[in-house]
Chains A and B, each alone.
Chain A
Amino acid sequence: MLKYTELVLDHFKNPRNLGRIENPDAEATEGSIACGDMMTVYLKIEDNRIVDIKFESYGCAANIATASMMTEVVKGLTLEEAKKITWKDIVERLGGLPPVKYHCSNLAIDTLRKAISAYEESLVGR
């Protein structure tokens, strides 16, 4: 198996904010079963601030851990702040990932950004 840090394994074993939000203000799914990893992010937003976030994942341990860490990091942030979080921030927080797994941390950020965009687009339509 790939060598993961203790923190990555902890997030894999006990993912934070796992599950779905009923009637979310925004949600997005990224990745595909065919490429291996797929995840969904649900957001609850009040006054441009992420007040709740949950995720579901069909992915590898690195994907689950980065998604879990990402939700911890962005919960409570404003949308503008959340958009500035990068995959590098998440990976550093986790104490690093094997290089072949960097793309998994990208997926967590991509899905978050997609969910935020979906929220912003829904506002325009209102």
Chain B
Amino acid sequence: MRVYLDHAATTRVFDEVAQETVKFFTQFYGNSSSLHSHGYEAKRLYEEARSKIAKHLNVETEEIYFTSGGTESDNIAIRGFLKANHPEGGHIITTQIEHPAVLELTRQLEKEGYSVTYLEPTTGGYVTPEDFRKAIRRDTVLASIMWVNNETGVIQPIEEISRIAREHGIVLHSDAVQAIGKIKIDARLVDMLSASGHKFYAPKGCGFLYVSKRVKVEPIMYGGGHERGLRSGTENVPGACAMALALEIIEKNYEVWSEKVKRFKEKILRAIEDIPDHHVNGSNTIFSHISVSFKNVLGETLATALDMNGISVSTASACSSHHGTRRSHVLEAMQLEDWMIDGAIRISLGYDNSEDEIEYFVNVLSREVNRLRRMS
């Protein structure tokens, strides 16, 4: 049996989305910027997709910009905002647990003269609104706080942080790559928001960025002036339409599907409870996500053992160099014990998992943990 439990890494494109998307390669293949019927047709479908996505996020159609994915959205939002409003420098607040798409960018911005505060999470894996408030300085211009952490699945307190940011006139960006398609979010809580299609059953290579009309952002890449000048490059009509359709399908089935995934998560957590010396990492986690560590078993070793049984999960830490272990910056920031950091595996469920798969997984999991423990 092959079981895919790594939906936080990427998802299988919905069959219906894959079938519909083919049309954009063979039938509606016009360049949506062209001034002829092939172009108009593509443009209409492209703009329809934009308005559907806007509706899903509870924002206006003109506030959605299509991009190539999460990393690009994060870069346009953060760098584009600073370029347009604070080219001379300023203070940024983010977290120690961001995805590299934000962290590597802010490290680069530090080299360019910006100053950055990296909020430390609690051992539960979330930053606190109080710490956010304390980090605010007179020159704070931007905050970037992820909606859901990719390694632990911990939901961050965006609502409270949003309130504080508004009080102080700080523009708030959120990398919502792990939230879109999973939890219902009101994008208006933030000023800018990043999303990636392949995390919600659309193809790789497409994403979008929400930018509130109140916020001015400059492009970071120059060309034909697509996406109202913010993101040049021929419009990815198949990607945009695939994302809109995938979100539509999720919305239609959300109650049934999310209940199912919640049940699976509970079943896995019950099975984990029966294995002694374990630790579930993070609290207030999203319903599709489990990060767990077993004492005396390396996460990397367990993931390999599961892989040999056809089960795909991921691991955040791995021993990969002469100098020791490449460790998860997220779990380290949470100041967990060594065995929890080195032992962590991430199980991320999807709407397409089945009862049989979960049954098989929990059996293999306890068997392999026991086997590996006998080796040490």
Binding site for B on A (CB under 8 A): 1-2, 4, 9, 12-13, 15, 18, 33-38, 56-61, 63-64, 100-101, 103-104
With known contacts A4-B304, A9-B308, A60–B318 Cβ distance under 8 A: yes
- Report which of A4, A13, A104 forms a contact with B319, defined as CB distance below 8 A: A104
CB distance from B306 to the nearest CB of A (A): 9
Q: Which of B301, B325, B342, B376 contacts A61 (CB 8 A)?
A: B301
User: Which parts of B232-280 form the interface with A (CB within 8 Å)?
Assistant: none
Q: How far is the CB of A20 from chain B (nearest CB, A)?
A: 11
B-side residues, CB < 8 A to A, are 296, 298, 300-301, 303-305, 307-308, 312, 317-322, 324-325, 338-339, 342, 374-376
Q: Which residue of B lies closest to A4 (CB)?
A: B304
Closest CB in chain A relative to B258 CB, distance in Å: 29
Contact A36-B325, Cβ < 8 Å, known A1-B307, A12-B304, A58-B296: yes
- A61 with B304: CB separation less than 8 A: yes
Q: Is the CB of A36 within 8 A of B319?
A: yes
Per the bound structure, the CA–CA distance linking A2 and B301 in Å amounts to 11
Chain A residues lying within 8 Å of B319, measured Cβ to Cβ, are 35-37, 59-60, 63, 103-104
**Complex contact A12–B324 (CB within 8 A):** no
Shortest beta-carbon distance from B276 to chain A in Å: 17
CB pair A15–B338 under 8 Å, yes or no, is: no
Supply 7 further A-B pairs (C-beta < 8 A) apart from A58-B298, A60-B298, A64-B375.
Answer: A1-B303, A34-B338, A35-B324, A58-B375, A59-B301, A61-B305, A100-B320
Contact between chains at B325 and A35 (CB < 8 Å) = yes
Chain A residues with Cβ below 8 Å from B303 are 1
Q: Are B320 and A12 in contact (CB under 8 A)?
A: no
**A60 in complex: contacting residue of B304, B307, B374, CB < 8 Å:** B304
Determine the residue in chain A with the shortest Cβ distance to B307.
A1
Complex contacts, A18 vs chain B, CB 8 Å: 374-375
Q: Could you tell me if B321 and A103 are in contact, using CB atoms closer than 8 angstroms? A: yes
Contacting pair B298 A36 (CB below 8 A): yes
Q: State the Cβ distance, B373 to closest chain A Cβ, in Å.
A: 9
CB distance from B353 to the nearest CB of A (A): 19
Residues in A whose Cβ lies below 8 Å from that of B296 = 58
Inter-subunit contact B304/A33 (CB<8 Å) = no
Closest A residue to B371 by beta carbon equals A13
Output the residue of B338, B374, B375 with the most chain A CB within 10 A: B375
Residue of B nearest to A64 (CB): B375
> What distance in Å separates the Cβ of B3 from its nearest Cβ neighbour in chain A?
14
B338 touches A33 (CB 8 A): yes
Q: Which residue of A lies closest to B301 (CB)?
A: A60
In the bound complex, CA of A60 to CA of B297 (Å): 9
- Tell whether, in the assembled complex, residue A100 and residue B375 are in contact, meaning their CB atoms are under 8 Å apart: no
| Residue of chain A at shortest CB distance from B315 | A1
Which of B321, B325, B342, B376 gathers most chain A CB within 10 Å? B376
Using Cβ atoms and an 8 Å threshold, which residues of chain A touch B342? 33, 36
Shortest Cβ distance from residue A81 to the other chain B in the assembled complex, whole angstroms: 27
Quick check: A13 and B308 within 8 Å, CB to CB? yes
**Contact between A56 and B376 (Cβ–Cβ < 8 Å)?**
yes
Could you say which residues of chain B place their CB within 8 Å of the CB of A35?
A: 319, 324-325
Measured between beta carbons, the chain A residues less than 8 angstroms from B320 are 100-101
What are 22 A-B interface contacts by the 8 Å CB criterion?
Answer: A4-B304, A9-B308, A12-B305, A33-B338, A33-B339, A36-B298, A36-B300, A36-B319, A36-B324, A37-B319, A56-B375, A56-B376, A57-B376, A58-B298, A58-B375, A58-B376, A59-B319, A60-B298, A60-B318, A61-B301, A64-B375, A103-B319
